[in-house]
Structure 1
Amino acid sequence: WGTGQIVAVDAEGNSQVMLTVPATLPYSIDWLPDGRLVVVSGRDGLVLRQEPDGTLATHADLRGLSTSPWNEIVVDGRGNIYVNGGGPAPAAGQHFGPGTIVLIAPDGSVRQVADKIAFANGMAVTPDNKTLIVAESHANRLTAFDIAADGSLANRRRWADLGNGFPDGICLDAEGAVWYADVPNRHCVRVREGGAMLDSVDADRGCFACMLGGADGKTLFIVAAEWRGFEHMISDARTGQVLSIEASAPGAGWP
């Protein structure tokens, strides 16, 4: 966040800066079906797209929907882009108000498809493109929606109650389970629908994001960093790490 850099890291730990975003706190990234990178420039209310020559273009302007920051992104297998955050301005003393989810359709149109999300965080779409799962960090749960043919969301339901878990980034595996990263509890947890815990990986700092990948799709990559509160989100302290561990099932769905 603080540097605005998007960094690639290989299995040996070598890293390379792939892109520097000229924005304050660029949040999340994903890829379009044609391989172009998209990034949420959260405080600017923009979704940016990297062109083949490396330049950045505005893919969607979300400022007309909310003046609050935008956060996470997921692109499904049909090219629908879902971005969350935004929503009403936060109440006094709070950092975020109730969040929303917006859809950026392949034709470029933008519309809100869900609201009243309790601190919207990571999102994932099932392999059949029929279900979107979103982390509601301040409600300690994962919430699911059916995805209609036009990308609209319906049939909102609790996918998993997480007790004292605070889900941040999430990903799906081929057995239908979800891994979620948890900052205050400093771990990543694998749960099935309904909330039963299947596995857990502890860290010595907050876990912000997780993704399954590697040669066989069974390496769980975790982005972790020391968390000092919202007031210190931009800091010179470089405490971020990419951790990896073997998982029991390969990744599935999107991202």
Structure 2
Amino acid sequence: MESVLPLECATVFFDGTLGDPRLLHPEGIAVDRDGNIWCGGELGQIYRISADGSVLDVVASTGGVTLGMAFDQRGRLYTCDLGHKAVFRFDPETGHLERFAIGGGGASIRIPNFPVVDTRRDCLYVSDSHDPGQPGPGVWRFDLETGEGRLWYDRPLTFANGMALAPAGDHLYVVETFARRVVRIPIGGDGSAGEAKIFVEGIERLPDGLAFDIEGNLYISCYEPSRLYRARPDGQVDLLIDDPEAHTLCYPTNCAFRGTELFTANLGRWHVTRIDVGIAGLPLL
């Protein structure tokens, strides 16, 4: 399959290979209202890269392993932490970092992977990955203010990973990495979860992160091989861009839009990649 974009459309936005601080194998990535790029490190770092890509700061640390990230309408950052099996919340204005959620209803999150803010319902969805060879539930839902929550989608998923809320807000799209597919879960009028249905499948080979553009196309970043796909609203999938040598794109895990620019975290290296896809991303803030 020939890619829609040549590899030259992908450039290194920030290279943290030799800097101090170093950008240690980022996985999660998010964009704030001012256009700054945020990502996490393998030792729990929460990084902020200035909008022009010139400055990297470590603004906080969980002391664990930071995974997916998302901002809410008040500018607070939520990040999943593998080491602590918890979701943390960071307020950039005050510098306050707190443990936001660990589970609910007598159960705990096993592998909190990716958070999605639902502004319509004032809640946070969090994927729970479980073990690669052991499908399990599922997706958690937490109140944005109290952190109280429960297991929202309690049916088995095969390593639930990156997620994205549909433009209409009526479905939650979820990557099942080791099933090589993306499913969508209907959100009922009362906020309850319907049965997951396959949106796209047979993705080559390990899909990870998701992001929508304003035309309803879904972007799928793949950890391996180092490439991104774009799924149209009707489910037809195109190879967007591919890096066979895993250099500019190196195990891209999660992706996030800033205007028409799509940024990817590269777990295999020490940099953030920028791709101009020519279509603006769906606003999240």
The alignment's TM-score, normalised by the length of structure 2, stands at 0.74
CA distance in structure 1 between the aligned counterparts of 2:168 and 2:283, rounded to whole angstroms:
8
> Would you say the 8 A contact 1:124–1:253 is kept in 2?
no
Q: Structure 1 residue aligned with 2:103, among 57, 62, 69?
A: 62
**Per the alignment, in what secondary structure is the counterpart of residue 68 of structure 1?**
coil
Structure 1: unaligned runs, 5 residues or longer = 227-238
Residues 24 and 95 (structure 1), Cα distance of their counterparts in 2 relative to 1, 3 Å cut: farther
1:154-233 paired onto structure 2 within 5 Å:
154-193=194-233, 195-203=235-243, 204=246, 205-213=250-258, 217-226=259-268
CA deviation map 1:130-182 (0-9, x unaligned):
11101110111110011123432114211111342321011001111111111
Q: Structure 1 residue aligned with 2:60, among 20, 28, 45?
A: 20
Q: Aligned pair count?
A: 235
Q: Name whichever of 163-172 and 95-104 sits farther off.
A: 95-104
Mapped pair 1:81 → 2:127: no
Residues 243 and 146 (structure 1), Cα distance of their counterparts in 2 relative to 1, 3 Å cut: same
> Would you say the 8 A contact 1:125–1:254 is kept in 2?
no
Q: Structure 1 residue aligned with 2:136, among 98, 113, 127?
A: 98
Residues 33 and 96 (structure 1), Cα distance of their counterparts in 2 relative to 1, 3 Å cut: farther
Residues 19 and 149 (structure 1), Cα distance of their counterparts in 2 relative to 1, 3 Å cut: farther
How large is the Cα RMSD of the aligned pairs?
Answer: 2.3
Mapped pair 1:72 → 2:72: no
CA distance in structure 2 between the aligned counterparts of 1:25 and 1:96, rounded to whole angstroms:
22
Residues 62 and 43 (structure 1), Cα distance of their counterparts in 2 relative to 1, 3 Å cut: farther
Q: Give the partner amino acid of 1:244.
A: R
> Would you say the 8 A contact 1:181–1:209 is kept in 2?
yes
Q: Give the partner amino acid of 1:71.
A: N
CA deviation map 1:104-150 (0-9, x unaligned):
02463311121311111111012322111011101111100111234
Residues 131 and 188 (structure 1), Cα distance of their counterparts in 2 relative to 1, 3 Å cut: same
Residues 127 and 197 (structure 1), Cα distance of their counterparts in 2 relative to 1, 3 Å cut: closer
Residues 207 and 186 (structure 1), Cα distance of their counterparts in 2 relative to 1, 3 Å cut: same
CA distance in structure 2 between the aligned counterparts of 1:28 and 1:106, rounded to whole angstroms:
16
Residues 254 and 95 (structure 1), Cα distance of their counterparts in 2 relative to 1, 3 Å cut: farther
Q: Give the partner amino acid of 1:240.
A: W
Q: Offset at 1:27?
A: 1.4
Residues 67 and 57 (structure 1), Cα distance of their counterparts in 2 relative to 1, 3 Å cut: closer
Name the structure, 1 or 2, with higher relative contact order (CA <8 Å, separation 6+).
Answer: 2
CA distance in structure 2 between the aligned counterparts of 1:147 and 1:45, rounded to whole angstroms:
26
The aligned counterpart of 2:149 is 110
CA distance in structure 1 between the aligned counterparts of 2:109 and 2:69, rounded to whole angstroms:
20
> Would you say the 8 A contact 1:126–1:254 is kept in 2?
no
% identical aligned pairs: 24
> Would you say the 8 A contact 2:223–2:252 is kept in 1?
yes
Q: Give the partner amino acid of 2:139.
A: I
Mapped pair 1:249 → 2:283: no
CA distance in structure 1 between the aligned counterparts of 2:76 and 2:180, rounded to whole angstroms:
33
Q: Offset at 1:67?
A: 5.6
> Would you say the 8 A contact 1:65–1:86 is kept in 2?
no
Mapped pair 1:129 → 2:174: no
> Would you say the 8 A contact 1:128–1:253 is kept in 2?
no
Residues 43 and 194 (structure 1), Cα distance of their counterparts in 2 relative to 1, 3 Å cut: farther
Q: Structure 2 residue aligned with 1:33, among 73, 82, 92?
A: 73
Q: Give the partner amino acid of 1:147.
A: I
